[in-house]
Structure formats: structure tokens, C-alpha cells
A and B are shown apart, each in its own frame.
Chain A
Amino acid sequence: MNRFALPVGVFGLLVVVLAIGIKHSPNKGTIMSPLLGKPAPQFSLPNLTDPARVVSSAGLKGRWYLFNVWGTWCGECRAEHEMLLEVRRAAVVPLVGLDWKDDDAQALSWLAQLGNPYDAVAVDRSGRTAIDWGVYGAPETFLVNPQGIVVFKHVGALTPDVWTRDILPRLAPRAAAKS
């Protein structure tokens, strides 16, 4: 046994560990949120389009909804907007927006200009609700089930890919039950 071959052997073992590490890391991207599988945080915030009413987690209980964090200051959100309108047109799942640290007037003119994909928009001026949700940076989208459990989280602009691959299949049993 050549003792000088020992380093290569140790390195070989390390490669195996690293390879396993890489194999595991793709799911790490989705498990990143500690909220997954946990109840969505409670919130009760003013409605952007009708400040007299509130949007609250309690009011959303019992149905599936997509929770989308956005702001007019966010460039990616503009890129995402077209996809959100698609989601609205598909009418599979209601879309609840969280207008994060934004100016109400600007947010309203944004929706008037680009079209409003949301069923309701909650206003989070202080950013506290976003902190509760563990938002890392806008845009972010969460899928919440009727029991109020977060089942999926996507960081970054929503794409057709994410929609068909990650969101629709999770909604499928429900869609099937409906038809």
C-alpha cells in the first residue's frame, strides 16, 4: 500500500460527499423558507383599493390562494406583471397581493396603468407583515392551501415555467375535484 496515495483516497471520499451535497441542494432551493409546511402568518391589513375594508388571513381561510409580494419600486415586479395577469385570466386560484413598503397613490396608478391582476391587495407600509412571511426581496410568491398552510414558495419573478411545473400540479387535485 502506497501511503502517498492516501491523499487521493481521502479526496475521493470528499468528492462523494460533495456530490451528495449537490444532489440534495436543488430541493434546498424550495425548502429555503422555514414557513413551508407551516401555517401562513396571520395578518390583517388595509385593502389598497378600498381602505375602509381589510384583507386578512382569517378571511382567506378555507380556500387556496397565491400570496404575491410586490411594490412599484421593484423592477422585477414589472417584468412579472404580465404573468400575473395570465394567472388572473386562468382563474384557477385567487391572487392576493402584498404591496410592500410602497406609496398608495403610486401603487394605484401602477394597477390602473398595467391592469390589476389581484383579487385583493393588502397594504404593508411598515414592512412588518413581509418580515413575518420571511420575505427576502420582492417579488416573492407563496401558495397557501385551504387549511392556511404554506405549500410552496417562489423567490423572484413568477414565470410560466414555475406556474405549470410547481403551482398547477399542487392545485390539480382541487381542479380535478371541481370538474
Chain B
Amino acid sequence: MVNGEAYEAKPLESVTALLEEMGIGGRPVVVVLNGEVIPAASWNARGLREGDRVELFRLVGGG
């Protein structure tokens, strides 16, 4: 699950890989995996499994 929507994916090695596949790679986002904020430094090391809930946030304009 990514941002509340089911996401079909090949088993992924890491958060980094997911971001690459989604076309985000390199752009600033916050990754929340199963309710836990994953610091950018850990993206490479963190693997993903079936049933994981991922949320991604970015900055937009706001007052």
C-alpha cells in the first residue's frame, strides 16, 4: 500500500528502489513505513514486504 492505494510491485529490495520505480527518485520526500518515519539515510538499507503500508509526503506551497 502506498499512500492508501494498493500498489502492485515486484518484491523490492529497498525504499530507494520503490522511489526509483515510482519516478520520484532523488526528489525530497518523507517516507513513513508502517507508521514509522524512515530517515533518508536508511532508505537503502530498508527492505519492503507484502502488506507494508508506505506513505510519502512532499512539500507544496502553503500559507
A and B part of one assembly? no
* B residues whose Cβ falls under 8 Å from a Cβ of A: none
